[in-house]
Amino acid sequence: MFENQIVTLTTILKDKDIHNYAGGAFWNIIKAVSLGDVGALLDSSTEIKNLLFHAPTILFWDKMQRYMFGTFRDYAEQVKMAEKFNEDNKDYEKFVKKQIHLINEINDDKKVDYFAQLTRCYLLTEMENALYYKLARFLIMCTPEELDYIASFDYEETTNLTSMVSSLYQYGLFEQQEKQNGGVDYVLSGFAKALKNNSLNFNEETSGRNRIVSYSQIAPLSISEPMTWEDIDHVFSENEIVINGNGTLK
């Protein structure tokens, strides 16, 4: 059953099939597999018709419909996106299979929209596979409120430690930045900026920023080191001690 879904979705997204299903016929397919519209099936292949009887849940196909409409917005983009793959690409079916797994894990409509934007970025740019799947995991891991917080947070903005920032810090989406006069601020990590750039704020202008499409464009996280036994000894032997953002003593 699951393999049939993969084969069908792979068929829909292939370059030659996009040409065959151009215009209303393409949307009929999406409507058919997502809503079970019998009339729409009249314009679809036998393989598409059979897919309806293997749909695992109505909720899954509702998410799939939202995802596909959000990703493949017009025919010109459909063709451009299809150029990312070809019939000789052995990883293509694997890509579609991963899409099904990811959609199945997402539990919120807004997160589906964010995933669609991330996929559009992946298909329309040279984003590497590893970064695409890493950012997809962030979308699944975070709550919609956390994602909205990052979306509204400016690239170079700083903030104090809050419950929201603390949670995102644990995910590696915020990092510490030392203040000139001591102490630390919290700022978006390179991964958070990539998530904004390629998903949460994808439809906005990049404001002169380069699109982040590779791990090599992301600086290592600045994370405070845990206290050592020597640090602990100092805590008990000194009347006053200040630990900076890197866990070293002053």
Instruction: Give the pair of three-digit tokens for residue 51.
Output: 């897919």
Highest mean pLDDT (candidates 18-32, 66-80, 196-210): 196-210
Asked whether the predicted pLDDT for residue 87 surpasses 50, the reply is yes
Highest mean pLDDT (candidates 74-78, 172-176, 234-238): 172-176
CA–CA dist 92, 11 (Å, integer): 11
Asked whether the predicted pLDDT for residue 67 surpasses 50, the reply is yes
The predicted model scores a pTM of: 0.68
Structure-model confidence comparison of residues 223 and 44, the more confident one: 223
Q: Longest C-alpha distance within the chain, in Å?
A: 81
According to the model, what pLDDT value does residue 66 have? 83
Q: Cα-flanking dihedrals φ and ψ of residue 186, to 5°?
A: -120, 135
According to the model, what pLDDT value does residue 128 have? 94
Cβ burial, residue 206 (10 Å; 0-12/13-18/19+) = exposed
According to the model, what pLDDT value does residue 182 have? 83
Tell me which residue of 94, 114, 130, 129 sits closest to 200, measured CA to CA. Answer: 114
Average pLDDT over every residue of 85-97: 70
182-219 pLDDT, tens digit per residue, is: 889 999 999 999 999 999 999 887 666 789 999 999 98
CA–CA dist 196, 212 (Å, integer): 10
64 — pLDDT class (breaks 50, 70, 90): confident
Inter-residue contact 162 to 176 (CB < 8 Å): no
According to the model, what pLDDT value does residue 223 have? 63
The domain locations on the chain are 2-105, 108-223
Asked whether the predicted pLDDT for residue 228 surpasses 70, the reply is no
Instruction: Give the pair of three-digit tokens for residue 198.
Output: 């390629």
Sign of the C-alpha dihedral computed for residues 19, 96, 219 and 157 taken in this order? positive
100-128 pLDDT, tens digit per residue, is: 889 889 989 999 999 999 999 998 889 99
CA–CA dist 177, 222 (Å, integer): 8
Mean pLDDT of the chain: 75
Least confidently predicted of 69-73, 83-87, 110-114, 115-119: 83-87
Instruction: Give the pair of three-digit tokens for residue 132.
Output: 């695409």
The torsion of the CA quartet 177, 179, 184, 187, rounded to 10 degrees, works out to -40
According to the model, what pLDDT value does residue 101 have? 87
121-159 pLDDT, tens digit per residue, is: 998 889 999 999 999 999 999 999 999 999 999 999 999
Q: What share of the chain in percent tops pLDDT 70?
A: 60
